[in-house]
Each structure stands twice: as C-alpha cells, then as structure tokens.
Chains A and B, each alone.
Chain A
Amino acid sequence: MNWGVLLFPGSNCAEDCFHAVDKILGKPVKYLWHKDTDLGDVDAIIIPGGFSYGDHLRPGAIAHLSPAMTAVKEFASNGGLVIGVCNGFQILTESRMLPGSLLQNRGLKFLCQDQSLKVDNSDTPFTSEYDSGDVVVFPIAHNEGNYYAAPDTIAEMEANGQILFRYCSPEGEVSEETNPNGSINSIAGIINRTGNVVGMMPHPERSADGVLGLSDGKGVFVSMLNHLEAQNDS
C-alpha cells in the first residue's frame, strides 16, 4: 500500500508528512513531483503545507495549475483518498476539488499555536479513529486559514456532514472566542461530497509524533490506513 506526498517548489511540510507515514505509520511512502503527469502506483495522496510557489498571486493559485494536479483530480475522481493540509487545503479549494476558499486570518497575522478541535463527523475514511464530539489538539500555522463559502454552500455542507473538524476551546466549546482565524462556523476541516477528498488547516502530521508532546493527529493517518486496508480486503 503506497502513499504519496506531493512536492511543489515551496512545500515545506512535505518531509513532515513523509515522516508521519514512514516512521509513525510505518508504511511505504514516496514523493510525487509537481511536474509529473503520471503519479504511479499510489493508494493515498497527501498535499502538504508550505508556501507552494511562494504563495505568489494567492496561496495555492499557481500550484493548482501544475501538471500533477490534473493527475490528482483524476485520482480523486476514481475514488482515491486525497488529503490537503494547510497550503494543501488552499490548493484543493483553488482547484475546486473542495468548495469555498481560505481568506486571510481575521487578526491579519500569521498564527502558530496548538489548537483544540472538535471532531464533527467521525464517519469518514479520515476520522473513523475518533468519536464525533471528541476534542483533539493539532497545531495550526497559517496566515490564510479563514474558511469562507457562500451561505447555501455552507448549509448544504452542514446538512451533508461535510464538516470534519471545528475550532473549539480545550473543553470542546465552539464559539467565536475560540475561533482563531474567523472561519465561518469555526470550520477547520472539510470533506467533499463523495467522501474521499479532505482539506484542513490544522496539521495532523505535527500532532502524530508523541515525543513532540502531541499525538492526537495520528488518528487521521490510522483512519486512512484502516480504510485502505478494508478496501483491499473486500
């Protein structure tokens, strides 16, 4: 079972995602190059965080035009698992694989902190290791993480259970006070309608290696692995 981490010029969390799969999950993983049109034999794709193409123009705006993203779209349309973290999330919204967009943080500043999140839907290939309502801690580190989508899009996503994580207090309370960046409905992570493409601003990989003091994020990778293995068995 092969994992792929998509590498753009300026991706700076690629090695962290690689580390999470390789060392924490102990599964085979390789880098995918942004100029490639054929991604080879992969079962899951991680689009890592960073500043692809230096965030020039707008975060993710140039990356989504790269040859590899055409291949990623095709991979996803065939049901492949894709997760975009931070800049990866921005690339997925820019490429319209996920609805909405990421605006500048409400506070107009880059924000790096350990952030409590409430799991909103645990019935997905990315969150099955959690229970709905669980409070987990993942670090955030972004300048444009303020999620926005049109009101009817939001209503539809809410109704479909497409919200996976919301920013909350350590006690699990979701409110404007605990919303770090102004995201609508405190949305931190979402899934597409077909349930195989996820985007999230918080970094599960940074919360996967217990020696760094956080380990909740491992659940995202384990959930994906369980899903892939179950798929293989059936």
Chain B
Amino acid sequence: MSEKKAGMEEKIWIKAGLTDSEYELLTKHMGREPNTVELALYAQMWSEHCGYTHTRPLFKHFLTTGPRIVQGPGENAGIVDIDDDEVITFKLESHNHPSAIAPFQGAATGVGGIIRDILAMGAYPIASLNSLHFGHPGEKGHTRWLISEVIHGIGEYGNCVGVPTVGGEVRFSNAYKGNPLVNAMCVGFMKKSEIKKAIATGVGNSLMIVGNLTGRDGMGGASFASKDLEEENDEDRGAIQVGDPFMEKLLIEACLEVFEEDYVVGVQDMGAAGILSSSVETASKAGNGVEIDVALVPKREEAMRPEEVMISESQERMLLIVKKGMEDKVNKIFHKWDLHAVVIGHVTEDGIYRVLEDGVTVGEVPVWSLMDAPTYILDAVEPPHLKETMAFKNEQVTQPSDLNEVLVRLLGAPDICSKEWVYRQYDHRVQMNTVVKPGSDAAILRIKGRDKGIGITMDSNGRYCYLNPRRGAQSIVAESARNQVVSGAEPIAITDGLNFGNPEKPEVYYQLEQSIIGISEACRALDTPVIGGNASLYNQTPEFGSIYPTPIIGMTGLVKSLDHVMTMEFKNEGDFVILIGETKEELGASEYLDVIHNLVSGDVPELDLALERKAQDYVLDIIRQGLVKSAHDLGDGGLAVALAESCIAGELGANVSLDLDMRADALLFGESQTRFLLSADETSTDKIVELAAQQGLEAAVIGKVTQLQNIIIHNMDEKLIDISVGNCQEAFATGFDKLMKTDS
C-alpha cells in the first residue's frame, strides 16, 4: 500500500488513516462522499485493530470448533465447556503501543479492557495473566522504567479490581527495546445458562451506556495501534486511556446483578473505538440498525464533536441492549452502586448506523459496510536472515570448560530466573481459588464447590519464531499444552495474541503467515481449537526496527479432579528421576546460545506433533493414575535447568547419569522438544517405564532425588555438573533483582 506513503497530506482520508482505494470503496458503499463524522466511523472500523484487515484472511487456517467449544471466535471472548453445565470464557488482548508511551496507564487499561470482555460474556472474571516483553533489564534507563511502570500498572489495576493475577511470563530481548509487548489475558467463569451475547436484537430496544463518563481520552486508539510507533509521537498521547479500577469493580458488580434479571438482550464491552465499534458489532450481528444521539452520552468534557464522542476510548464503559420498558429497572441497580445507566439510542430495523446530535442526524451509513473492512493478502518473502541462521552448525560454538558456571548463569538469566520480584506485586490469591501459584508451569484454579479445576498458561518464544516462524509457533502451542499436562490439566483450547511488525513489509507478512500456519497445525494435532484472539501489528520503531515475530498463546485446560494437580518440585529423597522423550544434539535457537554465546541462530529444535500428542496423553494418563510425584516441562535451558528448577523448588538435590553420545552442552542445555522430567517412587517408576514402552515412548530412569546438597549430572561416566543446590537457588532467586540493579 505504497499509496499510504504518497505524501498526500492534504487528503483528509489519508490523514484519517484510510487509503485512496479504501476511500473510493466507502464512497461507493455510501453512494456519496462521507462527511467528517462518517469518515471517522470508517477510519476506525476499517483499521487493522478493529477490522483485522491483514489478519482476517489468514484466520481461515484455524480450527475453531470441537466437542468442548461452546463459543468460537466472533464474540467478546470464546467459551469452553468444563462439565457440570459450567463454562469458562477467556481471551487475551494487546496493549503494546499505549504501554510504550505511558507504561503505567497503558498496562493498567490493558488489564481493565480484557476484564470487560469477559464481563460482557456474562461471566465473573476469576483470573488475570499477562505476557510481557521488554528490552534487556540489565540496561539502565528507559527499559527499566518501562518494566517497573508496566508491572506497577498491572498490579494497581488488578489488585484493586479484585481479580487475581495468577501467572503469565516476562521475557526479555533487545528486539523489544523500542516496542515492548503487553498482552493481558482474563478468564471468567459462569454457568452455561448465564452466557450473554453481543447482539442488538429487538427493534425499539434501548442502547444504554453504563459506567464511566466519556471524555477525549483514548481518541483514535484503534488507528494508533494500527501504525508504526514513531519517535515523535507526542501527538498520539491523546490516544492513551486512563484507568479507574474502582469504577471497574463497581461495573462488574452492577452488571452481574443486572444480568441475573431478564432485562438485557445483549452486552458489549466498549474497547477499541468505543461506542462506535461496540454498537456497530451488536447491530451487525442482529442484522439491525441503530440510532445513537451523542447529546445523550454523559460526558466529562465540554464541546466534544460527535465523532469524538463516538470513537472515544474512555475506560470502564459498557453497552447494554436493554428490553424496552426495563430501562428504569436497570438504572435502579446501577444507581445502587452509585453508577449511571443512560439510554443513548435504540435498535432500528433499517440496517442503518445513524448518529444524531440533539435529534439532528449528523451521519448515516449502512451497518454492514462498517463491518466489511477490506482485507489484504500481501506479498510474503522469506526474511533474508534465515539463510544464515538456518545454516548454523553446532561446531560454530566452543563448549565452555566450566559447565557448572554455565548452569548458574542460565538460572540467573532474564528469561529463566525467578519472577517472584514481579508476581509478589500482584495479588494472586484474592477470590480464594488459586491452588497453584505463579512461578509454576501452569496456574491452577479450583472451581468452588466441585472437585475439579482449570489450568491457565501464557507462553511465547519470540526467538524461536524469529528463527523459524512456522515451527517456532508450533513449539509454543506444544509447550503450552505440555505446561498444562505436567500440571495435571487436559488442554482444552487457546486464544492467540499475534504480535508482529509492519505486515506491509513482505518479510514481516511471511512471519505472520507462517506463524499462523504453525499455530494452526499444532492446535489441530493437539486438539486445542482457537476460540479467539487479538492481532497487534506495526510493532516497530524507526530506531530499533521490528520486534521478533511474537505469537503469544493463552491456553486453558481442565483438571478433572483436584487429586490430579501436579507440580514441578521434587517431593522426597530417594525418589527416581525419569526423563521422558528423546534428547537430540540440538543447540539451535536455544537460550544457551543466546545467553552464553550471545548468538541468536540455528534452527528451532525438531518437533513431531503426532509424537508430542502421544507423549502428552501418556504423561497426563500416568499423572491421573497417581503414579507421578513431580512433573516438569523441559523448556528454556533444557535438561539441566529443568532438573535444577525441580531441585530448587523442592529444596532437594539430585544425582543423575545419562548415556548419550553427544556434546555435553547439547545434552545439558539443548532444547529438544517433547520432553518431560518426572519423579516417582520405586514401584510407580517401574509402571511408568512399562507404560511408556507400551506406547513406544522413551522413558529413561536417569537417577535419584537426594537430600538438599548437590545437583550432579554424569554422562557416559564423565561428571558434567556438580554444584550445590544453594548456589543454583541463589542465582535463580536473585537473578532478576540483580539485573534490575546492574549499572550498565
């Protein structure tokens, strides 16, 4: 779309973010030229953020249905069945650009926004997670300020609103230095009968706005999110919203009280493009029109123009489609919570989106045309760096002589070290459902009154996707599912956050397309449909270029009985340590290469999705049978790091021996996929090995859990690692704090 950059600043539609051809198309739809109000409507609805102009054609790859899928993509959030006529709903959303400029408010409102998506489904929000990506924390200044402010913003909002922040991830690479990623996920719980939809049915029914007043904050946020972050973007500051978690808490309570009655036919969160997008989407679903009078909208600023009211992204607002005659009853409940509920318009039958000001029409366009954003299939070209990185050979790096030191450095590395510094700032226990806390493979929440729970994870690996977008994306889905399985949960479904650079660049579009294909393939193999998601493109800055392609996978799983809940820490001295899966001589794309050799290169480890599925089914089965005492996924840092983590968490040691003919660094730190580290007592160990053999899976009894002393690893009678658990613990526990205090 070179026309966008043709420098035709005088054209109002270019300034609004539309191209010449888009302008031509909307003029055709309308049969005339739009006025400024109408132009603003199209500019927002046809942005990537609202209209998914670049990503929609790629979504066709996704599997979106399955036996547990109650609601796939298309609503505020997807819904999955967790038995007993109960469901959970979940979604993730990015708030990258706002967080880059105003990290505290950007992150806080990201949390608030996704909570409202869950609320709009009729559910009680029961958990928040977030996936954060920053530049390297060892660098003083801006990056460290971003880290502190984002974490503070998430904490302030989540803690006050009373939704526990139970997990997620914080990852670092200078690929995110100019453009951090802040993706927030929320999970809600409800009975199947309580599900609400975002639909404006019933001609004559009222549109009521509830919650906060409308101001000029967040003006044009959707289109702001749909272009590159510029250096001099002070003028975009108006696109940052300000959050009020107290208001959100009241909104949750009041909405859920209203939902208990039969007053409401549809609900929609006011997120990107505010009143406009929420009302268009509900009308479009019902095949109806709507009429909204901006003069009726309660405002906190004077002299707002009609289009400003329509696209404002003021936070903590919801749109309710209320049955005619029930408006006073709805208002009464909101009033109890010291909130207002105001009628701003009604549902019409003509299919027209009509904006009025004091009863005078100031804009009218067909509803369908606003929802019919043009889509673009762009040129994809393999990024040139792949030629070099794919040619990487293990021989290019020399194995360090002191492997103990390597292990300690990895345990203290930003992506691996304990993030307690982060999550102790989040209330992760409120609502009293948190069975397994942050810092584990998956967060586990119990469902009150039942012997069951849910597993929740958020995972990504930008480096993997940079080095092999397709297999990298597959690996993230596989890792998410492994994290569920080792926690005793059966993976159900995913939501995906597609964080990429500017898709108009062919190499970025290639990364986007290949990643989506990879996610799709893994989801089919592992039977975890995609039930919703979010796309954040244009994550690049002139100074630092494009971010790593970073699809983020939010996954939920079902823990069928709380007896199945499993954790990573070793439990008893004398237990056997078992390694499931094959260790290959793979160093490519590893944390080890990055941290120790300062090298982001090589191919992502091999991944056989059919084998992955088989191994996961097997591990979940032996956990459910009660044979396993601890289970941990092998991920960043490979076998040695996983072993150390199980020792540190369990305050025990381990002595293991392997018999593999390969480089010691590949054996210890390589990231071969489809591997699990288990511990079990003697009788169960025999059973575990026997069952693996029946499945044709590799299960090696590699050693024993010892008292709290050392971690010892031998290979073919050579001692590779012998280090005290205390040293490992120290590096792991203090790594993040040290990084944040380093003066460099």
Residues of A whose CB lies within 8 Å of any CB of B are 9-10, 12-13, 15-16, 19, 23, 50-51, 53-56, 109-113, 139, 141, 143, 203, 205-206, 209, 211-213
Contact = CB atoms under 8 A, between A and B. Distances in A.
Given A9-B250, A19-B432, 11 more contacts: A9-B253, A10-B250, A12-B430, A51-B162, A51-B246, A51-B249, A56-B246, A109-B425, A112-B429, A141-B427, A143-B159
A203 B164 CA distance: 15
Contacts of A50: 162
A54 B426 contact: no
B15 to A, nearest CB: 38
B432 A213 contact: no
Counting chain A CB atoms within 10 Å of each CB, the highest count among B246, B338, B428 belongs to: B246
A9 B249 contact: yes
Across chains A and B, which 3 residue pairs bring their CB atoms closest together, nearest first?
A12-B162, A54-B246, A141-B427
10 contacts: A12-B160, A12-B161, A51-B249, A54-B246, A112-B426, A112-B428, A112-B429, A113-B424, A211-B435, A211-B562
Interface in B413-458: 423-435, 446, 448
A50 B160 CA distance: 7
B245 interface: yes
Interface in B153-185: 155-156, 159-162
A10 B253 CA distance: 10
Given A139-B429, A206-B432, A10 B446 contact: no
Nearest to A109: B425
Given A12-B162, A141-B429, A212-B446, A110 B435 contact: no
Contacts of B159: 51, 110, 112, 141, 143
Interface in B238-267: 244-247, 249-250, 253
B111 to A, nearest CB: 14
Counting chain A CB atoms within 10 Å of each CB, the highest count among B155, B427, B448, B562 belongs to: B427
Contacts of B245: 51, 54
A55 B160 contact: yes
A9 B337 contact: yes
A181 to B, nearest CB: 12
Contacts of B152: 109
B129 to A, nearest CB: 15
A205 B435 CA distance: 15
A54 B160 contact: yes
Contacts of B562: 211
B155 A110 contact: yes
B446 A211 contact: yes
Contacts of A10: 160, 246, 249-250
A9 B425 contact: no
Interface of B: 152, 155-156, 159-162, 244-247, 249-250, 253, 337-338, 423-435, 446, 448, 562
A109 B424 CA distance: 9
Contacts of A113: 424
Contacts of A141: 159, 427, 429-430
A204 to B, nearest CB: 12
B626 to A, nearest CB: 17
B430 A51 contact: no
B434 A212 contact: yes
Contact of B427 (A15, A19, A23, A110): A110
Contacts of A203: 429
A13 B429 CA distance: 10
Given A19-B448, A212-B435, A12 B426 contact: no
Contacts of A9: 246, 249-250, 253, 337-338
A65 B523 CA distance: 55
A174 B19 CA distance: 68
B249 A12 contact: yes
B425 A110 contact: yes
Contacts of A23: 448
Contacts of B433: 212
Contacts of A143: 159
B429 A15 contact: no
B424 A111 contact: yes
A81 B430 CA distance: 24
A113 B437 CA distance: 10
Contacts of B253: 9
B435 A206 contact: no
A16 B425 contact: no
Contacts of B430: 12-13, 16, 141, 206
Contacts of B434: 212
B435 A111 contact: no
Given A12-B430, A50-B162, A111-B424, A213 B435 contact: yes
A53 B432 contact: no
B170 to A, nearest CB: 16
B144 to A, nearest CB: 15
Contacts of B431: 15-16
A23 B450 CA distance: 13
Contacts of A56: 246
A53 B246 contact: yes
A20 B429 CA distance: 14
Contacts of A206: 429-430, 432
B2 to A, nearest CB: 49
Contacts of B246: 9-10, 51, 53-56
B250 to A, nearest CB: 6
Counting chain B CB atoms within 10 Å of each CB, the highest count among A143, A205, A211, A213 belongs to: A211
Counting chain A CB atoms within 10 Å of each CB, the highest count among B160, B426, B434 belongs to: B160
A113 B427 CA distance: 8
A194 to B, nearest CB: 31
Counting chain B CB atoms within 10 Å of each CB, the highest count among A10, A16, A111 belongs to: A10
B243 to A, nearest CB: 11
Contacts of B337: 9
B431 to A, nearest CB: 7
Contacts of A55: 160, 246
B316 to A, nearest CB: 11
Contacts of A53: 246
Contacts of B249: 9-10, 12, 51, 54
Contacts of B424: 111-113
B393 to A, nearest CB: 46
Counting chain B CB atoms within 10 Å of each CB, the highest count among A15, A23, A53, A54 belongs to: A54
Contacts of B161: 12
A57 to B, nearest CB: 12
A218 to B, nearest CB: 13
Nearest to A12: B162
A15 B252 CA distance: 14
A50 B426 CA distance: 13
Given A9-B337, A10-B250, A54-B245, A112 B432 contact: no
A51 B160 contact: yes
B678 to A, nearest CB: 21
A206 B435 CA distance: 11
A15 B162 CA distance: 11
A213 B162 CA distance: 21
Given A55-B160, A212-B434, A112 B427 contact: yes
A54 B244 contact: yes
A53 B160 CA distance: 10
A19 B432 CA distance: 9
A141 B246 CA distance: 17
A209 B448 CA distance: 11
A8 B430 CA distance: 16
Nearest to B339: A9
B31 to A, nearest CB: 49
A16 B432 contact: yes
Nearest to A205: B432
Contacts of A205: 432
Nearest to B155: A110
Nearest to A54: B246
